[in-house]
Amino acid sequence: MTLEFLNSPYKGMCTPQNRSSEDVALVETYVPSFPRREQCRVLILGSGNSPFGEDMMNDGWTGEIINVDFSPVVIDQMQRKYKKYEKEGNQMRMEFLCADINDGLPFSENSFDLIICKGVFDSILCSSGSVNHIKKFVAECDRVLASGHGCLFLVTHGSPDNRVVFLEHENDPTYFWEGIWIERIPKRNKTVSQ
């Protein structure tokens, strides 16, 4: 995929590609030692122009939220739109960062309690060299997640059977993860006006 291809949906467009943050609350149900929302360090990968981070803050997630996307066009738009959320005192609340996750994540080990992967997994699997790229991606997520309670929240349109295999290391899912929970979230019905 080229940068021009990934930038094209965002040029001249400010309508968010909306997703809901309500389903992230499942993390608190399944991960016993998960930090409180007020302290949770969140990384949203493939943030696009979604208000996901803002929705999380409105739902009580007040720890640092970092949104990462490959498109400099969308990151610039979002930095301007959410400038008011950048700092609270000396602490960053929500940040937007342009980065290519195929080059590794620009964060130190154990930096985040929660990584939300919104469609990035599917995008990587649609590119050439996908198997090697996805293995590196999973290893990077493991590297930056907090030991003992870090959680990768994977939003995908693929079948769980076709995705879980990529979360394993040499057929061993416990190499990276203490537990894998699959929760099928029903699609929300859209009302079509006539």
For 127-144, give one letter per residue: b (16+ CB within 10 A) or e: eeeeeebbebbbebbbeb
pLDDT at 62: 85
For the record, the structure tokens of 129 come out as: 């060299």
- Sequence letter at residue 96: F
pLDDT at 4 over 50: no
Predicted confidence band at 20 (pLDDT cuts at 50, 70, 90)? low
Give Cα 164 to chain centroid, integer Å: 17
- The answer to whether the CB of 70 falls within 8 A of the CB of 100 is yes
Question: CA 67 to CA 45: how far, in whole Å?
Answer: 6
Least confident of 26-35, 43-52, 112-121, 136-145: 26-35
Alpha helices in the chain, H assignment, sequence order: 3-7, 26-30, 52-58, 72-81, 120-125, 130-144, 160-164
Name all domains of the chain by residue range, CATH numbers in brackets.
37-175 (3.40.50.150)
For the stretch 98-108, pLDDT in tens is: 999 889 999 99
Residue 79 bridge partners (DSSP): none
For the stretch 53-91, pLDDT in tens is: 988 888 888 889 999 999 999 999 999 998 877 766 656
pLDDT at 13 over 60: no
Q: DSSP letter string over 149-188?
A: T-EEEEE-SS-HHHHHGGG-BTTBGGGT-S-----PPPPP
